Structure 1
Amino acid sequence: MPVKTTIDILRLQGDALWAGGEFAAKILTEPLLDQMAPRGDGRTPVLTLPGFSGPEVSLRPLNRFLNKRGFVADSWGLGINRGPESMEYIATLGRLLGDRIKMMADEHGKAVSLIGQSLGGIYSRELARMFPDEVDRVITLGSPAHVKADQQHLINKGVGFAMRWFTGRPVEELLNEAELENLSLHSPPPGVPLVAIFSPYDGIAHADTTSIPKEYLDLNDGVPRENIEIVCSHIGMGVNPLVLLAVADRLVADRDNWQGFDARSYVPGPLKGLPQLFFPEPAMLARSSYA
C-alpha cells in the first residue's frame, strides 16, 4: 500500500476518533452552551445538508441545538448524501430542494440560512447561487469548495475510495468534468453572505480547500464573506461545541452591519486569551464587510 494512502487512512481513523470526543464534549458542555450561545428570533429558517456519505442523523445534534436556541432548523430530507454521479446532479438538487427552500422562506417570512458540512457545504453554495432571493446566508463546515482536478492530493484518499463506491466515479474525474463544463463551483455565490468554518487539523480536506481564498475575500462587492478557523476534526464539526457556538453567532449576524466573529466576546475578562487555543487566527473578513 502506498505511503500516502496508509497515512490518509490513519488520518481518517484519527479524525473519526476525535469526532467521538467532540460529541462527548458537546454533551458535557450543553448547560454552558445553553447560557452562552446567541438565540434566534423563533422564525429564522435553517436547512442543513450532511457531508458526503453522511446520513441525515449526522446533523441531528446541530439541528436540535439550533431549534433549542430559537432557530427553525431542519434537515434536507434526502437521506444519505451519496455524492454526485455527474455534475448534472447540481441542477437536479436545485429541482429537489428549490421548492422546499421557497416554501420555508414563505412560511417564516424570512430567507433561509443554509448550513452544509463538507460536500453538503458545496451543495449549499450552489443552491444559494440558484436561489439568491430565498437564501439569506451560507455557512460551510469543512467544505472542500476550492479544490481543482490537479489538487486532489489535498483530499484524503479514503474519500476517493468512498466516492468510487457510492458513485462509480473517481474524484478527479468529477473535478475534471466540472472544469470542462466551466462550472463556477469555486467562486462564492453572488449576493449571498458566505461563512467558511474550517480546521487546520482537518483529517479529510486541507485548509487551503475549505477556507475562502483571499481573492474572493478581496472582492469589493459589498457581500459579507468570512473565514473562521477552529481547532476541530472534520467529521465532528456538526457536534463540536465551539463550532456550534460560531454557527449560532453567525446566524444572528446582521447582514447590513456584518462584524467578524470574536470568540473572546463569550468569555470573561481574565480568560480572554483562552479562545486563542481553539481559534488560532482571528476571523478573516472580506474587505467590504468592514464598511
Structure 2
Amino acid sequence: MMASLAMNPADTAPRKAEPPHRLWTLIEGRAMLELGLLYASRPLMASLPKGDGHAVMVLPGFMASNSSTVPMRNILKRLGYDAHGWDSGRNIRVDNALIGRLEAQLTRLFETSGRTVSLVGWSLGGVLARELAKLHPEKVRLVISLGSPISDDRGHTSAARLFELLNGKEPEPMKGGRFRGLDEAPPVPTTSIFTKTDGVVHWRGSVQHPDKAAAEQPTENIQVHASHCGLGVNPSVMIAIADRLAQAEGQWTPFTPALIHQWMFPRTSIS
C-alpha cells in the first residue's frame, strides 16, 4: 500500500468539513483559460506516453454530460486507448438505474475487449468510478478521480445542497447499503488528482488516506494547479492521466513527473 504524499500526525486529526473558499468558487471561469492552454499544448499532448489499446471509461461530473469529457477522450484516443464516454446522459440522478447502466457498460467493455477497463471520473464521476470498482474489481484495471468528493461528509462541496435537492440526503443506492464509506479506496490501484484552488470541492475532501486503502493495493494523491471545472482539460492533468494509464497492468509505481514537468505538480503538505 503506497501513497505519493507524505502524511504527518497532524493530518490524521479530525477536521470540520468545509466548502472551498468563495474566492476560488467565484473564479472558476478560469477553466476556459485551461481549455485554451490544452489546445495550445497539442504538440506536448502528442508526445505523451502511448497507450496499449485497453478500454478507458470516462465519467463526467455532477450536472455534466459526455460533451464535457470530449477533449480528454480525444487525447486518449490519439494516444492509442479505446476511450469511451458513459451511456447515462447528464450526471444528475444517482439511483439504482444509473448503477445498473454503469455495471452493464463496464461488463460490456470488459467482455468485448477481454481485458480489464480503466475508469476515469471527474468530480461526482470519480465517486461513481470508485464505487463501480468496488462492485466489480475483477473488471477494473485502475481508477483515476479528478477533484472528486471522496469523503462521506458532503460539507466539503459547495454543490451539496443542489445534490441533495435532486437526490435526497440518502440517494437510492445508499438506502440499499451501497455508497457508504466513500473514503475507502476500491481494491484496485487508485489515483486522486486534486487542486488546492478547487472552487467546488474542498481539496481536503479529495485526498486519499493510506489507512483507507485495501490491503496491498496502491493509492496516491497528485496535486496540480487547476480549477475544478478545468480539471478535465488542464494540460497537467492530461500528463498525469497519460502517465498512470501507460503503466503495464500489475506493475504500478508512484507518479513521478519528468523534470521538465515538475513545476506543474507541487509537492506541498496536505496538513
Look up the equivalent residue of 1:32 and give its one-letter code: L
On the 8 A contact 2:55/2:117 being kept in 1, the answer is yes
Identity rate, percent: 30
Pick one of 12, 27, 40 that aligns with 2:39.
27
On the 8 A contact 1:228/1:283 being kept in 2, the answer is no
Partner of 2:5: none
Partner-residue secondary structure (3-state), 1:138: strand
Moved over 4 A (4+): 4-7, 177-182
On the 8 A contact 2:69/2:232 being kept in 1, the answer is yes
Asked if residue 186 in structure 1 is aligned to residue 183 in structure 2, the reply is: yes
Asked if residue 256 in structure 1 is aligned to residue 267 in structure 2, the reply is: no
Distance verdict in 2 for CA 1:180–1:207, change over 3 Å? farther
Asked if residue 39 in structure 1 is aligned to residue 36 in structure 2, the reply is: no
**CA separation in 1, counterparts of 2:240 and 2:167?**
36
Partner of 2:205: 209
Partner of 2:126: 121
Partner of 1:160: 160
Partner of 1:200: 196
Partner of 1:13: 26
* Bigger CA radius of gyration: 1
Partner-residue secondary structure (3-state), 1:235: coil
Look up the equivalent residue of 2:62 and give its one-letter code: F
Partner of 1:64: 74
Partner of 2:218: 224
On the 8 A contact 2:152/2:181 being kept in 1, the answer is no
Partner-residue secondary structure (3-state), 1:52: coil
On the 8 A contact 2:88/2:98 being kept in 1, the answer is no
Partner of 2:136: 131
- Structure 1: any 5+ residue segments left out of the alignment? 268-273, 285-291
Distance verdict in 2 for CA 1:231–1:13, change over 3 Å? same
Give the number of the structure with larger relative contact order, counting CA–CA contacts within 8 Å between residues 6 or more apart: 2
On the 8 A contact 1:129/1:189 being kept in 2, the answer is yes
Look up the equivalent residue of 2:266 and give its one-letter code: P
**CA separation in 1, counterparts of 2:206 and 2:247?**
21
On the 8 A contact 2:19/2:157 being kept in 1, the answer is no
Deviation digits for residues 229-269 of structure 1 (CA, Å, limit 9, x no counterpart): 1111111111001101100110112343322111125x2xx
Deviation digits for residues 162-217 of structure 1 (CA, Å, limit 9, x no counterpart): 3255x163xxx248x95995823221112x11110111111111111111024225
Partner-residue secondary structure (3-state), 1:202: coil
Distance verdict in 2 for CA 1:282–1:14, change over 3 Å? closer
Partner-residue secondary structure (3-state), 1:114: strand
On the 8 A contact 1:48/1:73 being kept in 2, the answer is yes
**CA separation in 2, counterparts of 1:115 and 1:108?**
18
By percentage of residues, which structure has more helix? 1
How many residue pairs get matched?
A: 251
Look up the equivalent residue of 2:197 and give its one-letter code: Y
On the 8 A contact 1:111/1:133 being kept in 2, the answer is yes
Cα deviation, residue 222, structure 1: 1.5
Look up the equivalent residue of 1:30 and give its one-letter code: R
Distance verdict in 2 for CA 1:179–1:79, change over 3 Å? closer
Asked if residue 80 in structure 1 is aligned to residue 90 in structure 2, the reply is: yes
- Structure 2: any 5+ residue segments left out of the alignment? 1-17
| TM-score, reference length from structure 1 | 0.78
Partner of 1:271: none
Partner of 1:279: 265
